[in-house]
């Protein structure tokens, strides 16, 4: 699998500060910010600062430090947003996954009962 990163994607622009975001948490390796079209009371996107297209790209090529830093950011987002009753983490990839933004991101969704995982 070849991963071609487009540095004009909207999350790359957010990372460069060209587009504003509502930051929830930031570290050396990750940024978490509120989704612009929230699907639930909590809807935060966690993204690595490195140029990775998708979860499988990140899991294959990111360094151990980047991967640990990303997961620590996920933990911080769960703590900050207080999703103690549970949440869903979603990583859409490519066409079948209906990924709109080609920079790896994990949706952290919670704050209400979400129902079963897949509807169709
Ligand atoms: P996906 O379909 O997994 O690629 O999801 C992309 C997500 O990015 C969607 O939930 C959008 O609402 C969200 N999104 C798009 N543009 C922005 C933005 N400028 N700030 C925050 N979230 C955004």
Residues 6+ apart with CB under 8 A from 75: none
Q: Is 9 in the pocket of ligand 1 (CB under 6 A)?
A: no
Kindly list the catalytic residues.
105
- Domains within the chain, CATH numbers bracketed: 10-110 (3.30.428.10)
Order of strands across the sheet that contains 87-90: 23-26, 30-34, 42-48, 106-110, 87-90
Q: 100 C-alpha vs ligand 1 centroid, how far in Å?
A: 7
What is the atom index within ligand 1 of the atom nearest the CA of 43? 10
pTM for this predicted structure: 0.97
Q: Beta-strand (E) ranges in the chain?
A: 23-26, 30-34, 42-48, 87-90, 106-110
- Ligand 1 near 89 CB (within 6 A): no
Q: Express each pLDDT in 48-77 by its tens digit.
A: 999 999 999 999 999 999 999 999 999 999
pLDDT(120) > 80 = no
Output the CA 99–ligand 1 centroid distance in Å.
9
Identify the H or E element spanning 76.
Answer: helix 64-81
């Amino acid at each position: 699998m070849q991963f071609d990163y487009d540095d004009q994607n909207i999350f790359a622009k957010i990372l460069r500060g060209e587009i504003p975001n509502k930051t929830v948490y930031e570290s050396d390796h990750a940024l978490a910010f509120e989704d612009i079209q929230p699907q639930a009371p909590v809807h935060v996107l966690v993204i690595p600062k490195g140029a990775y297209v998708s979860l499988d790209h990140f899991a294959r090529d990111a360094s151990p430090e980047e991967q640990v830093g990303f997961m620590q950011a996920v933990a911080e987002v769960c703590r900050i947003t207080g999703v103690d009753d549970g949440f869903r983490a979603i990583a859409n990839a490519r066409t079948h996954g209906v990924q709109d933004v080609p920079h790896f991101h994990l949706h952290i969704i919670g704050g209400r009962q979400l129902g079963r995982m897949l509807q169709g």
